[in-house]
Amino acid sequence: MVVAVASGKGGTGKTTVATNLAKLCAEAGRTVQYLDCDVEEPNGHIFLKPEVAEREDVTVEVPEVDEAACVGCGQCGEICQYGAIVAIGEKVLTFEPLCHSCAGCWLICPVGAIQAKALKIGVLERGAAGELGFVGGRLEIGHVRTPAMIGRVKECIEPGALAIVDVPPGTSCPVVAALRGADLVLLVTEPTPFGLNDLKLAVALVRELGLPFGVVINRDGIGNDETEGYCRAEGIDIVAKLPDDRRIAEAYSTGAMIVDAVRECRDRFGAIRDYVEAAWRVT
């Protein structure tokens, strides 16, 4: 089963929920994997402190032109929507960071002068934190192929395991890449105007994707009750409410796991685990 932990707004507690949920489920005896799909700013490793067993380069395909074979027809440059390959007279220039790997240029070349070659965009790490499996992706600075990196991380999902996917903030295409194929989505929010505004965007997205979801309200009490009102009016499950507790903030700041550092919170995370287990029984 794949559970994605997402949020419209950044900083609401996705990684806190994803890592602590993963730990509780692993403690209960499940085979659990945590996958960090926030490949631009991955944080899961800070809390889970995994032992990394494998590190591999993640690559995407970009064009490589055989100048000797090129006849200067320019069709490669014409089909490219991204400015990644350009024909200037008989010279063909490639601009690899702009390439979307659509394969248009190497498919269209009438003389087979273009091949695909690998371009490194980041690194994939695989390991474990005790019994908990860990997969993390890290995009290199200056590269922008976030969805491709996320796709690679998700290829490591093991069927039969409980896979908890930590999704980047927002609602644009990296989030879609991370959410696709999830069996259940947990939307983490905070009960403030910014939080509610962004939650509505996230709800619209998961509904568009047709994914079942519930909401976790973090830092309960800091704002107003409009978020709760919205969830109730929309018939959205409020899975759990996590308290606004300075001890949690302080523990988080040091990279501690909340279920260990502030044990009173175990019940709340336990409620999230119960919700996930109940959903699993249904699928």
Partner 1 sequence: MGDEGMKIAVTAVGEGMDAQVDPRFGRAAYFALVETETMAYEAVENGNVAAAGGAGINAAKAVIDAGAQAVLTGNCGPNAERTLRAGKVKLYTGVEGTVAAAVEQFKAGALTEATGPSVDSHAGMGG
Partner 2 sequence: MREIVVISGKGGTGKTSLVAAFAGLAENAVLADCDVDAADLHLILDPQVRETHDFSGGKLARVRSEDCIGCGRCAEVCRFDAVSLGGVGNDVIAKTYVVDPMACEGCGVCVHFCPARAIAFEEAINGQWFISETRFGPMVHAKLGIAEENSGKLVSLIRKEAKRIAQEQGRALLIVDGSPGIGCPVIASISGADLVVAVTEPTLSGEHDLGRVADLAAHFGIPAAVCINKWDINPEIADRIEATAAERGLQTAGRIAYDAAVTKAQVAGQSIVEYGDGLLRDQVVSLWDVVREGLEKTAVAKEK
DSSP letter at 174 equals: H
CA gap 2, 188 in Å, rounded: 16
Closest CA to 125 of 221, 58, 212: 58
CA gap 227, 279 in Å, rounded: 23
User: In the complex, which residues of this chain contact partner 1 (CB under 8 A)?
Assistant: 77, 82-84, 86, 88-89, 91, 93, 95, 97-98
Q: Quick check: helix, strand or coil at residue 16?
A: helix
Cβ atoms within 10 A of the Cβ of 244, count? Answer: 15
Cβ atoms within 10 A of the Cβ of 90, count? Answer: 11
User: Which of partner 1, partner 2, none is residue 95 near (CB under 5 to 8 Å by kind)?
Assistant: partner 1
Q: Quick check: helix, strand or coil at residue 88?
A: strand
User: Which of partner 2, partner 1, none is residue 133 near (CB under 5 to 8 Å by kind)?
Assistant: none
User: Which of partner 2, partner 1, none is residue 77 near (CB under 5 to 8 Å by kind)?
Assistant: partner 1
User: Which of partner 2, partner 1, none is residue 12 near (CB under 5 to 8 Å by kind)?
Assistant: partner 2
Instruction: Mark 84-123 with x for binding to partner 2 (rule: CB under 8 A) and - for no binding.
Output: ----------------xxxxx--xx---------------
Angle ∠(135,271,265) on CA atoms, nearest 5: 85
Instruction: Mark 189-218 with x for binding to partner 2 (rule: CB under 8 A) and - for no binding.
Output: ---xxx--xx--x--xx--xx---------
What does residue 263 show for φ and ψ, rounded to 5 degrees? -65, -20
Minimum CB separation from partner 2 for residue 238, in Å?
A: 20
Q: Quick check: helix, strand or coil at residue 261?
A: helix
Tell whether residue 271 is a contact of partner 2 (CB under 8 A).
no
For the segment 49-78, give every residue that binds partner 2 (CB under 8 A): none
Q: List residues binding partner 2 (CB under 8 A).
A: 8-12, 15, 40-41, 43, 46, 79, 81-82, 100-104, 107-108, 139, 141-142, 144, 146, 168-176, 192-194, 197-198, 201, 204-205, 208-209, 222-224, 246, 249-250, 252-255
